[in-house]
Amino acid sequence: MDKRFLLQAQELSHQKPEYLETLFAVGNGQIGVRAGHPLKVNANYPGNPGAFVNGFFDSEPIQYGEWAYGYAKEHQTICKLPNLRGLSLSIGQEQSTDSVWQTEQIQLTLNMAEGILHEFYHVETPLGKAFDLEMQSFASMTRSEFYVCRYTIKNANFTEPITVSHPLDQRFTVNQTDDPRVANKEHQLLKEEHGDYAIWTAPHSQKKLAIRVIGGDGQIQSGESLTTVFQLRLQEAEGAPFYQDAVDFETFVAEQRESYQQFWAASDIEITGDQELQMGIRFNLFHLNQGAGRDGRTNFAAKGLTGEGYEGHYFWDTEMYLLPFFTYTNPDIAKALLTYRATILPQAQKRAQELSQDGALFAWRTIDGQETSAYYPAGTAQLHINADIVYAFQLYERVTGDVRFIEEVGSEVVFETAKFWLSYGDFIEKDGKLSFCINGVTGPDEYSALVNNNFYTNKMAQNNLYYAIELAKRYEKNMELIDQWQQAADLMYFGYDASRGLTKQDDEFLEQSVWPFEETPAANYPLLLHYHPMIIYKHQVCKQADTVLAQMLFMGDFTLEQLKQDYQYYEKVTTHDSSLSRSIFSVMASRIGETAKAYRYFMDTALMDLTDLQKNVVDGIHAANMGGSWLSLIYGFAGLYYDEGIRLSNHLPTEIDELAFKLSYQGEELRIILREGSVECQLAPESGLFIEQTAKGIWVRKIAKKI
């Protein structure tokens, strides 16, 4: 094993079972399995074991005390499946599920180079029978419906046979918490036995999933080394019964290794000078690879497939924090994630109609495309998700050059969202001139709800409109709307406080009292868990990057002086109560020359889950932050941004001696190496790309070919 890719439980200071279950979870974008203890399968043991299938959810009506027209109608909650790792062993009259067998965990190691979890336990029964249990498990990257386990029993002090079974009985744990970020509903699945497979049904949504256990002879004779292999196949139950034989264990392993070899060849980031940081970033990239839906029908849940946090919902996190990584390193995955958004366009169009608007409005939080956020001020009102999705399509086209995908899949999303902005916004006389205003919205900062002219929302909507105009002209569609879109984009309102030289987050933010930070105990963060929304909304306080995020995305539209001025101001009133925040402040600190500060913010993002910085890893990984750690490195330290090509510049902090990574641009691979004061870009011979040295770094463009 390559030690540089090994995460070992023994080296972590935090040993809470639920925490380890999250960190050592394995998945493949379709199946995710928490690393629950294989022998501690009944409800008397600590931990929160279970498994998840991307897009497999139950639903039920939302019960409102007071309902109003247009409110979201149904909850959607990802279903926790049985613990696929659980074992039941019997030796003579002793049964592991009936009595307490003493189990010492000798090893728990995640080999991130191969995507395989390795475990070793020493086990003793109440009657003194002892043996060692070795386990290898993974979710197959090449056969997405398979979760594979191999159990080996060694060094037994007895000769009796051991009976091995794989009980697929649900063990439900309901989170008793008032934290709105955590699902606290129990969804009891209905189980039907059909010989060697079972069908699980979500009672309200009526979604069905079939699970079949393949392999393992059930009974093994003790000896020096005994092995049984279980392959669990999970798929939508419409095709059951399914009897195709699986391949042997070694074939699964070989395929898994090859898949991860390809992933790391395209995605690895090498950091010289800080081994803890190197481990942190590889851990984050590993979980990004595990959590991404690849079938065009599923997306990337906020917690990946590692826990129930946020109920398995998809948010804007995918487009703004995760897709840049995939677009620049694994564009096929980016394409699949974007395809999902196109498949739910009909639901978005229906939602816009419910709000009496034209075009389409994508759900703020969803699994199947329907809006599931019961609190509309921090849900539906976050209209910026429309423009976030369009920005991701636009970035994909710019980086990959895949215009066919945009024409066939993305363009309709762009057009329908542009129609929505024209419908929702208004031409209003403001500051002595006619402006296009977007009122009554919530931006990324969820501590400022239902505001007028949120800067981020307006900036993103403007970009959405300009891209729609570009595509309309290119494909000669919606030509009758081009002039209206142009006028709305050109007259988009952006607030500015000339007396203080500040970009206004919204029309009234700078006019409110600043939150009493010095009087707020550290225990009262995050604020959303300790103060009524009305109290938070009436203050100057940001949950996360808002204006600063917009400026990161459109740096060329601002002077360096303005970026510094706004950064310094908004940093003082930002709590970073959202895990999405620190990475953006890290990127912008790099861009304005504050590399020491950028590094401090980055260390929080790179090690957030390994250090349990937010104190809620038990509910699942922080996927958006993991994508944000890539942004901090590549958009921040390496200065990457798109400008008719890609520009890179060196903002390395002193703690990092060398930073090396790869990018995919226009179908070609670039290897970038940053050292003190230099940026090096390596291209393949006969490349169709051109590198130009600039005063600040390098500019990589595609060479125009004469026809």
> Catalytic site residues?
446
Q: Which helix (H) or strand (E) holds 631?
A: helix 623-631
Q: Are 394 and 402 in contact (CB under 8 A)?
A: no
3 state SS for 333-366: HHHHHHHHHHHCHHHHHHHHHHCCCCCCCCCCCE
For residue 698, the SS3 value is strand
- Token readout for 184 is 């606290």
DSSP 8-state assignment for residue 246: P
Q: Are 38 and 135 in contact (CB under 8 A)?
A: yes
Q: Which residue has the tokens 């439980």?
A: 9
Q: Are 600 and 655 in contact (CB under 8 A)?
A: no
d(CA 649, CA 543): 30
Q: Are 12 and 35 in contact (CB under 8 A)?
A: no
Do the annotations mark residue 544 as ligand-binding?
yes
- Token readout for 57 is 């959810």
For residue 383, the SS3 value is coil
Q: Which helix (H) or strand (E) holds 689?
A: strand 689-693
Q: Are 139 and 32 in contact (CB under 8 A)?
A: yes
- Token readout for 440 is 């009554």
For residue 390, the SS3 value is helix
d(CA 369, CA 348): 7
3-state helix, strand, coil in the chain (%, to 5): 35, 25, 40
Residue 440: HSE in the Cβ half-sphere, 13 Å Cα cutoff = 7
d(CA 521, CA 544): 19
Question: Is the Cα torsion angle 584, 261, 646, 470 positive or negative in sign?
Answer: negative
Alpha helices in 477-594 (DSSP H): 482-490, 533-537, 547-553, 560-572, 581-591
- Strand segments (E) across 129-172: 130-139, 146-154, 162-165
| Residue 314 CA: distances (Å) to CA of 54, 63, 477 | 10, 22, 30
d(CA 205, CA 185): 15
Do the annotations mark residue 543 as ligand-binding?
yes
CA end-to-end distance (rounded Å), the chain: 51
Beta-carbon contacts of residue 642 (< 8 Å; ≥ 6 apart): 395, 398, 399
Output the known binding site for substrate.
316-317, 543-544
